[in-house]
Amino acid sequence: MILTEEQKRGQDVFFRIITEAWENDNFKKSLLTNPEETLEKFFGRSLPTGKKIKVADQSNPEYIYINIPVKPQMKDVELDEKKLDTVSGGSSNGTGMTDYESLYDSLRSIYK
């Protein structure tokens, strides 16, 4: 899969957070107990309003972790031609439909 520039920026944000948590135990502890304040300090800016952040420590190698993302509310979404084609099976290439734009909305304001 080819990532868009926005997806690459969102991925970079996640990698920066994860790397800092791996290298800095105090950051990791703070991220687990107060993620919003910790990330605001880390990025030097306020987080998007109306969003909470939940951080789970998934570093125990004895477990396989599964994260279930928010289910898209399709009734509220207007589809452009590309998305309509994907939903109708025209260009999904055998993959499930993922609305990456919504997935990265909460990171846009942080990484500008």
How confident is the model at residue 10, as a pLDDT? Answer: 84
How confident is the model at residue 68, as a pLDDT? Answer: 86
How confident is the model at residue 95, as a pLDDT? Answer: 45
- Exposure b/e, 44-82, CB count within 10 A at least 16 = b: eeebeeeeeeebeeeeeeeeeeeeeeeeeeeeeeeeeee
Taking the chain (112 residues) in runs of 10, the rounded mean pLDDT of each run is: 82 92 96 95 87 90 89 65 59 48 53 50
The pair of three-digit structure tokens given for residue 40, joined into one six-digit string: 């605001």
How confident is the model at residue 96, as a pLDDT? Answer: 46
Break the chain into its structural domains and give their ranges. 1-48+97-107
How confident is the model at residue 47, as a pLDDT? Answer: 83
How confident is the model at residue 6, as a pLDDT? Answer: 84
